[in-house]
């Protein structure tokens, strides 16, 4: 079930990938369609490993996907599914508002990233939000956090067990993966901006770090499903809502500190 969701998320990323390819400064030896298809095939292989190894690591340290497990015949989680999803989505929406507010300050100082945001469509951003919510959470939380916790247990010479997991080990894993999650956005940013400046690095960590910590905590306490709900909702508010706000401002100019589109100069 998780792998099927990952494949769907990878397919939903295709429109946004095509946009990035067309916006990149790097010459391509193949057509954008072939490059996008190759990216999907790469994701199909990658997430087969991510889901398989991630579930093994999560089970070893008492984490995992409790609602998917319940559908597969496991015990019912303590918190009802609707309650967990609502809680995750509410926190994700708040995180999305934080991201939008931060970028309203930062993007005017990053002209190339601002122009990319202007060129992306609401449909592209909505579709890509499924990849962010599903695939990035499976990679960084199910595999990443679980794997780091398992490695900490291995390094401390304590045999990993389903329960209990030391809180310090989980928090260490959450913070480590939050930093890596922020840094993981830099290659795509560099392809658009041409180089990584101090401000771009700060933006990657300041925007992605807090959201990653929130999703890590949700994964720990309520399962990967709650983390996915939070990440997806944050992306919808930030990428879809933020883009709609930017497009509205370009038409009506109610945020005076934002530079106008290049075609207006």
Distance CA 244, CA 118 (A): 9
Q: What's the whole-number mean pLDDT along residues 109-134?
A: 91
Tokens representing residue 156 in the block: 């401390």
CB contact set of 237 (below 8 Å; sequence gap of 6+): 92, 93, 95, 96, 97, 99, 100
Distance CA 202, CA 188 (A): 15
Residue-range definition of the domain harbouring residue 134: 2-264
Domains: count for the chain:
1
pLDDT of residue 192: 76
Q: What's the whole-number mean pLDDT along residues 183-203?
A: 86
Tokens representing residue 48 in the block: 């087969």
Distance CA 159, CA 41 (A): 37
Looking at the chain, the whole-number percentage of residues with pLDDT higher than 70 is 94
**Which residue's structure tokens are 């080990």?**
169
Q: For 8-62, how does the pLDDT look when each residue is reduced to its tens digit (9 = 90+)?
A: 999 999 988 887 777 666 666 778 788 888 989 999 999 999 999 999 999 999 9
Q: For 80-120, how does the pLDDT look when each residue is reduced to its tens digit (9 = 90+)?
A: 999 999 999 999 999 999 999 999 999 999 988 888 888 88
CA 126 to each of CA 130, 138, 163, 166: distance values in angstroms, whole numbers, following the listed order: 7, 19, 38, 37
Q: Is the distance from CB of 59 to CB of 147 less than 8 angstroms?
A: no
């Amino acid at each position: 079930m998780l792998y099927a969701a990952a494949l769907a998320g990878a397919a939903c990323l295709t429109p946004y990938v095509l946009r990035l390819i067309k916006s990149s400064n790097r010459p391509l030896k193949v057509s954008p369609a072939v490059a996008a298809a190759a990216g999907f095939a790469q994701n199909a292989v990658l997430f087969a490993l991510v889901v398989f190894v991630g579930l093994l690591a999560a089970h070893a340290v008492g984490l995992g996907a409790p609602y998917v497990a319940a559908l597969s015949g496991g015990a019912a989680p303590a918190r009802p599914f609707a309650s967990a999803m609502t809680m995750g989505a509410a926190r994700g929406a708040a995180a999305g508002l934080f991201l939008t507010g931060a970028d309203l300050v930062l993007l005017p100082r990053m002209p190339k990233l601002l122009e990319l945001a202007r060129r992306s469509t609401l449909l592209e951003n909505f579709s890509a939000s499924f990849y962010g919510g599903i695939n990035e959470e499976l990679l960084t939380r199910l595999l990443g956090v679980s794997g780091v916790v398992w490695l900490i247990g291995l390094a401390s010479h304590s045999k990993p067990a389903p329960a209990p997991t030391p809180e310090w080990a989980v928090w260490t894993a959450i913070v480590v993966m939050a930093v890596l999650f922020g840094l993981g956005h830099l290659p795509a940013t560099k392809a658009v901006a041409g180089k990584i400046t101090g401000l771009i690095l700060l933006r990657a960590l300041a925007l992605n770090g807090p959201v990653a910590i929130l999703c890590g905590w949700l994964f720990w306490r309520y399962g990967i499903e709650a983390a996915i709900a939070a990440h997806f909702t944050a992306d919808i508010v930030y990428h879809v809502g933020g883009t709609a706000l930017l497009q509205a401002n370009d038409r009506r100019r109610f945020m005076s500190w934002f530079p106008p589109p290049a075609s207006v100069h």
